[in-house]
Structure 1
Amino acid sequence: MPMNPKMPLAVGLPLSLFAGLSMPVQGRINGALGARLDDGLAAAVVSFSTGLVLMVLICVLAPGARSGMRRVLPAIRARKFPWWYLLAGASGAILVLSQGVTVALIGIALFTVAAVTGQSVSGLLVDRLGLGPAGKKSITPLRVLSALLTVAAVAWAVSPKFSAGTDQAGLLALVLLPLVAGFLQSFQQAFNGTQSAHYGSPFPATMVNFIVGTVLLYIAWLVKVAVAGPGNPLPAEWWYYLGGPIGCLFINFATVLVRSLGVLLTGLGMIAGQVLGSLLLDVLFPAPGTIITTATVLGTLLTLAAVVLATLPWPRNSFAVLRRRKGQR
């Protein structure tokens, strides 16, 4: 996916929806792998390892990716961006770890609400600070309203699933992990987008993400094995190993899109894709205990409406106009 000039909203927003569709699939796979291995940390290691192998192949075989990799060290030496932007992969590692550890325990519904809440809040913050390649974006009432509406819509869409399990109420502490993972997602997207603007390709930033995340996860997993021992052996089914390649797709799209849409709108578009993808996954490949009600469908539609709301322009100096009118009364 080349780093072309900024794409129009009519192109970027559907692409963000498409990228978001992949996340429920990755969550389902990594959650199932964590349960199969009886080790969520090992599932995260497997996911990042397969993603890293794929990125190495791409960066070796694709000419555009190879040329982008040659720009990494010069960009770092020239201090084109803060060095700690290279640690963006830690955010992805925490997200994948949270999938492997919590999805089997709290369910994909509660996981999704927690992650969406964290990402919606941080999307506003990151855009306001101007950490992404799109620069600073004002926090307008419409942007705040769309973020709040997104969280409410996702909660509504997945609310029928809350009654599907009886153990969720006693496991609310586990919600903190996907909440933090979601909050860090906006920072990861901003840092990757800034790096890729200097590399001329999204692949080097994705490659660095998987290197950093894989190293951190292996260190944590080795400590866990030393303390508690290994989990179950790796499964033979091939689909358990698709989580990493799906992560490559997601990170590459996010890296490109934040340059045009900004962090908040990219995040909201991907969130809408996640909710829509969850609905399609439940319809086409329902898991045990799957519940689809009117709230599921209407909440999904409301999420899409919240994303559209975020694209609407807020009139400049609107507050000043209102104050003048009030003063004339």
Structure 2
Amino acid sequence: MPTATAPWLLLAVFSGALISLQSRITGALAAGLGGDGFAAATISFGSGLLVLAIGLVVARGARRGVGRVVADVRARRLRRWQVLGGFGGAAFVLTQGLTVGVLGVALFSVAIVAGQVAGGLLFDRMGLGPAGPQRPTRRRVLGAVLVLAAVGLSMADKLGGGLPYAALALPLIAGVCVSWQQAVNGHVRNASGSAYTGTFFNFAAGTGALVAILVLHTVFVGLPDRLPTEPYLYLGGLVGIVFISIAVATVQKLGVLLLGLCTITGQLAGSLALDLLLPHGGAEVTPATVAGIALALAAVTIAALSGSTPSRIVTRGAAADAPAPQESHRKLS
């Protein structure tokens, strides 16, 4: 593993731990809203967008970055779908609210990870991320398989029968959406020259999608009767800003698959730490959980040893000299 890559790997693992923290906060917020996951997801995304919008007012560089992204979209150097990475985040939190109660956290996590790893392999091979095409080397594939095994091992003693396995399709699709989100967010970062701007567009797209869905949900169900008063329940947006910013900044350095493997490892480790420090809901730390985290760390190390150098993948009709990774957002269609 190149020494220069190690800090980016550690940052990506840390961002995964923050995802676990945000999930715990958003879950508690949904419970405080009478089980309304739609409202909880919208509040989480919306609060993050509000903080970022205030930052735009005081940060001239961030405003210039927004202007550069808008100009690139108008000039078609940046495709419109490339600024909609927030849809992936919206799909994740909505699927969490819709299926965790049916599947349980264990099966939900396995399905999300399976979709995320599959999406990472696919999108790296396609060159969808700003790092350009990444060959699915044997070590990367082995790392992906070991991460799936790690998640299954850590959850093995929590699985039960009689579950509607057909519902696994939603988190599987959401996992692929998360990988797509990580890939396209990097293009916005390249266009703007700022991870802050990429994060802002992510929250804007995600909040817009969630507000539209919440409006439809409200027509049939109505709004929660009250808002919880505990201040920490409204910190999910701030936590999301941090881990999405890290993903935006690191995807070009690591590629979509390796970034996903690192965040998955961080999620497992973060969940373990939260269960040890803040146990709730009957959560229990078992030897299988610890063994799964150890296996995930080994998987990330194996995948990282393959390096993150973009491969020269030439498709029919493509020029032999592929564009530099930093310019890939101007070439994708």
Shorter-chain TM-score: which interval?
A: 0.7 to 0.9
Match of residue 116 from structure 2: 119
Match of residue 89 from structure 1: 86
Count residues with an aligned counterpart: 305
Contact between 2:123 and 2:183, CA under 8 Å: does it hold in 1? Answer: yes
Q: CA deviation at 1:171?
A: 4.3
CA distance in 2, matches of 1:190, 1:236: 37
Q: CA deviation at 1:105?
A: 4.4
Among residues 289, 304, 320, which one is paired with 1:311 in the alignment? 304
Contact between 1:27 and 1:103, CA under 8 Å: does it hold in 2? Answer: no
Q: TM-score, normalised by structure 1?
A: 0.87
Query: Does 2:7 correspond to 1:21?
Result: no
Match of residue 5 from structure 2: 9
Contact between 2:140 and 2:306, CA under 8 Å: does it hold in 1? Answer: no
Match of residue 97 from structure 2: 100
Q: CA deviation at 1:296?
A: 0.9
Q: CA deviation at 1:119?
A: 0.4
Alignment of 1:134-283 (within 5 A): 134-162=131-159, 169-283=162-276
Contact between 1:33 and 1:100, CA under 8 Å: does it hold in 2? Answer: no
Contact between 2:102 and 2:163, CA under 8 Å: does it hold in 1? Answer: no
CA distance in 2, matches of 1:106, 1:35: 17
Contact between 2:179 and 2:256, CA under 8 Å: does it hold in 1? Answer: yes
CA distance in 1, matches of 2:67, 2:238: 23
Q: CA deviation at 1:189?
A: 0.9
Read off the aligned partner of 1:14 and give its amino acid letter: L
Match of residue 45 from structure 1: 42
| Of 128-137 and 220-229, the range deviating more from structure 2 | 220-229
Among residues 48, 64, 70, which one is paired with 2:67 in the alignment? 70
Q: CA deviation at 1:162?
A: 2.8
How many percent identity over aligned positions?
45
CA RMSD of aligned residues (A): 1.9
CA distance in 2, matches of 1:104, 1:60: 40
Match of residue 329 from structure 2: none
Match of residue 4 from structure 1: none
Q: CA deviation at 1:21?
A: 0.7
Deviations 1:50-109 (A, max 9, x none): 111111122222343223122121111222222211221111111121233333443332
Q: TM-score, normalised by structure 2?
A: 0.86
Residue 303 and residue 281 in structure 1: after superposition, are their counterparts in 2 closer, same or farther (change >3 A)?
same
Match of residue 317 from structure 1: none
CA distance in 2, matches of 1:227, 1:278: 34
Residue 80 and residue 16 in structure 1: after superposition, are their counterparts in 2 closer, same or farther (change >3 A)?
same
Match of residue 286 from structure 1: 279
Query: Does 2:297 correspond to 1:300?
Result: no
Read off the aligned partner of 1:248 and give its amino acid letter: I
CA distance in 1, matches of 2:22, 2:100: 11
Match of residue 55 from structure 1: 52
Contact between 1:39 and 1:231, CA under 8 Å: does it hold in 2? Answer: yes
Deviations 1:200-229 (A, max 9, x none): 001222111211211211111111111222
Contact between 1:282 and 1:292, CA under 8 Å: does it hold in 2? Answer: yes
CA distance in 2, matches of 1:245, 1:171: 34
Residue 107 and residue 238 in structure 1: after superposition, are their counterparts in 2 closer, same or farther (change >3 A)?
farther
| Of 84-93 and 29-38, the range deviating more from structure 2 | 29-38
Contact between 1:35 and 1:104, CA under 8 Å: does it hold in 2? Answer: no
Q: CA deviation at 1:181?
A: 1.4
Read off the aligned partner of 2:211 and give its amino acid letter: Y
CA distance in 2, matches of 1:298, 1:215: 40
CA distance in 2, matches of 1:201, 1:309: 30
Q: CA deviation at 1:169?
A: 3.6
Contact between 1:34 and 1:101, CA under 8 Å: does it hold in 2? Answer: no
CA distance in 1, matches of 2:46, 2:234: 9
DSSP 3-state at the match of 2:87: helix
Residue 200 and residue 53 in structure 1: after superposition, are their counterparts in 2 closer, same or farther (change >3 A)?
same
Match of residue 31 from structure 2: 35
DSSP 3-state at the match of 1:81: coil
Contact between 1:89 and 1:213, CA under 8 Å: does it hold in 2? Answer: yes
CA distance in 2, matches of 1:144, 1:46: 37
| Of 296-305 and 55-64, the range deviating more from structure 2 | 55-64
**Structure 2: which 5+ runs fail to align?**
308-333
Q: Detail structure 1 runs of 4+ shifted over 4 Å in the superposition.
A: none
